[in-house]
């Protein structure tokens, strides 16, 4: 299976750990001795109960959650959370603080506005094309929550430290760096993440919500848009995305049992990103787009001297078995997404290719 696979640097959906794909392949026709595929079993069966309960238990263990935190699996992607967060957490007269660090934050802010709720954009890095994480930031003491995007997939920036909010719970879009490093969960009232980068296939969104924020959910919003609907039914009020949740369970098992947890994962991620950034800083041929102290360890965005060279770079990389290096269509340039599953060997291969390309074209 592995022989014709490429090094996958896609931004999402993205690479999954090979052992996870192999386990899926192996059990695909006969899941856990059921005589059925995991895509054919009932979500009301003991088999699926075991899957979802194990996935939830692993999320809790990996992030060291206490029993104030609820682990939910929803559909609608991270984009649905842009609307569900204010819909559930902001009542009449309430306001929320948002930090604008790029495309995804901008979209999240828009959804609060659309609902006619009060959003205070307390900081933004738009003045320099979202190339940095703003700080320090003065948050409003009466905000219900402070929303950030922990990793900016398109602009290649990441919060290295989370902001001091004076006790206001942070709500974070962690779609592109969940499980990449330990989180001080005491600071967070809610985190959400579309699965398709660090966690699994597209189709499921993880939401972790604390009791005090869950208690704010109003009873008069549509059932499927209420967090309590999912919390009360173990995410199975209706049919959940079973296959996506199963894959998440396997990725979390890999993270715990093969990698050894978040400290180890973070160390490996620092090493992988360090290889790329160190090489580029020394070369001068490639130019990372994010400011140094705000660089993402997940999405390494960079430019070459010209757009033509960027096109050639992306095309030749693919010919050499490295895919997904084109930057997001809104910003151009190049981007290597090196989420948890991307092995060190993939980054080493990329750096070797970059050196060769620079020697030839530089």
Question: Between residues 104 and 279, which has the closer beta carbon with respect to ligand PLP?
Answer: 104
Q: Which of 104, 155, 177, 272 is catalytic?
A: 104
Residues belonging to the chain: 362
Rounded CA-CA distance 198/338 in Å is: 9
SS3 call for 287: strand
Smallest gap from Cβ 198 to ligand PLP, in A, equals 10
Smallest gap from Cβ 103 to ligand PLP, in A, equals 8
Q: Which of 155, 173, 177, 272 is catalytic?
A: 173
Q: Is 342 left (phi over 0), alpha (psi -120 to 50) or beta?
A: beta
Question: Between residues 165 and 174, which has the closer beta carbon with respect to ligand PLP?
Answer: 174
Rounded CA-CA distance 305/100 in Å is: 29
Is 159 considered catalytic here? no
Q: Which of 197, 254, 272, 326 is catalytic?
A: 197
91, two tokens? 């009542």
Question: Between residues 157 and 228, which has the closer beta carbon with respect to ligand PLP?
Answer: 157
Smallest gap from Cβ 79 to ligand PLP, in A, equals 3
Question: Between residues 175 and 269, which has the closer beta carbon with respect to ligand PLP?
Answer: 175
- Can the peptide bond before residue 136 be classed as cis, meaning omega within 30 degrees of 0? yes
Question: Between residues 27 and 79, which has the closer beta carbon with respect to ligand PLP?
Answer: 79
Smallest gap from Cβ 299 to ligand PLP, in A, equals 8
Smallest gap from Cβ 159 to ligand PLP, in A, equals 12
40, two tokens? 């054919």
Question: Between residues 31 and 324, which has the closer beta carbon with respect to ligand PLP?
Answer: 324
Rounded CA-CA distance 60/206 in Å is: 12
Is 197 considered catalytic here? yes
Closest residue by Cα to residue 183 from 210, 223, 221 = 210
Contact 237, 228 (CB under 8 A): no
Residue nearest to ligand PLP (CB): 77
SS3 call for 98: strand
Closest residue by Cα to residue 102 from 146, 143, 159 = 159
Contact 210, 71 (CB under 8 A): no
Smallest gap from Cβ 175 to ligand PLP, in A, equals 4
218, two tokens? 């109003």
DSSP single-letter state for residue 164: P
Closest residue by Cα to residue 217 from 116, 85, 19, 94 = 85
Contact 107, 79 (CB under 8 A): yes
Is 360 considered catalytic here? no
- Can the peptide bond before residue 126 be classed as cis, meaning omega within 30 degrees of 0? no
Q: Which positions touch ligand PLP (CB under 6 A)? A: 12, 77-79, 104, 149, 153, 173, 175-176, 194
Rounded CA-CA distance 195/161 in Å is: 23
265, two tokens? 């994962």
Smallest gap from Cβ 12 to ligand PLP, in A, equals 5
- Active-site positions read 104, 173, 197
């Amino acid at each position: 299976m592995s022989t014709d696979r490429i090094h996958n640097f896609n931004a999402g959906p993205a690479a999954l750990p090979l052992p996870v794909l192999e386990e899926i392949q192996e059990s695909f026709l006969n899941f856990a001795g059921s005589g059925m595929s995991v895509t054919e079993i009932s979500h009301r069966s003991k088999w699926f109960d075991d899957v979802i309960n194990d996935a939830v238990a692993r999320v809790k263990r990996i992030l060291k959650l206490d029993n104030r935190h609820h682990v939910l699996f929803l559909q609608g992607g991270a984009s649905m959370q842009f609307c569900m967060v204010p819909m559930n957490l902001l009542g009449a007269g309430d306001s929320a603080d948002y930090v604008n660090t790029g495309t995804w934050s901008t979209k999240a802010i828009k959804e609060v506005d659309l609902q006619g709720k009060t959003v205070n954009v307390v900081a933004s890095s738009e003045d320099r094309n979202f190339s940095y994480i703003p700080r320090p930031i003065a948050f409003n003491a009466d905000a219900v929550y402070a929303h950030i995007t922990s990793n900016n997939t398109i602009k290649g920036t990441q919060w290295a430290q989370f902001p001091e909010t004076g006790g206001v719970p942070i709500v974070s879009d962690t779609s592109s760096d969940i499980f990449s490093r330990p989180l001080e969960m005491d600071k967070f009232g809610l985190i959400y993440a579309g699965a398709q980068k660090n966690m699994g296939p597209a189709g499921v969104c993880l939401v972790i919500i604390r009791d005090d924020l869950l208690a704010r959910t109003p009873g008069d919003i549509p059932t499927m848009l209420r967090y309590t609907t999912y919390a009360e039914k173990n995410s199975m009020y209706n049919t959940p995305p079973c296959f996506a949740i199963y894959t998440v369970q396997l990725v979390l098992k890999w993270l715990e049992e093969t990698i050894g947890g978040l400290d180890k994962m973070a160390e490996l991620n620092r090493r992988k990103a360090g290889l790329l950034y160190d090489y580029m800083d020394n070369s001068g041929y490639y130019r990372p787009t994010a400011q140094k102290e705000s660089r993402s360890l997940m999405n390494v965005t960079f430019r070459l001297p010209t757009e033509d060279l960027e096109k050639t770079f992306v095309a030749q990389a693919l010919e050499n078995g490295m895919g997904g290096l084109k930057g997001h269509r809104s910003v151009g340039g190049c981007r290597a997404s090196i989420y948890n599953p991307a092995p060190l060997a993939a980054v080493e291969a990329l750096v070797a290719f970059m050196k060769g390309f620079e020697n030839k074209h530089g």
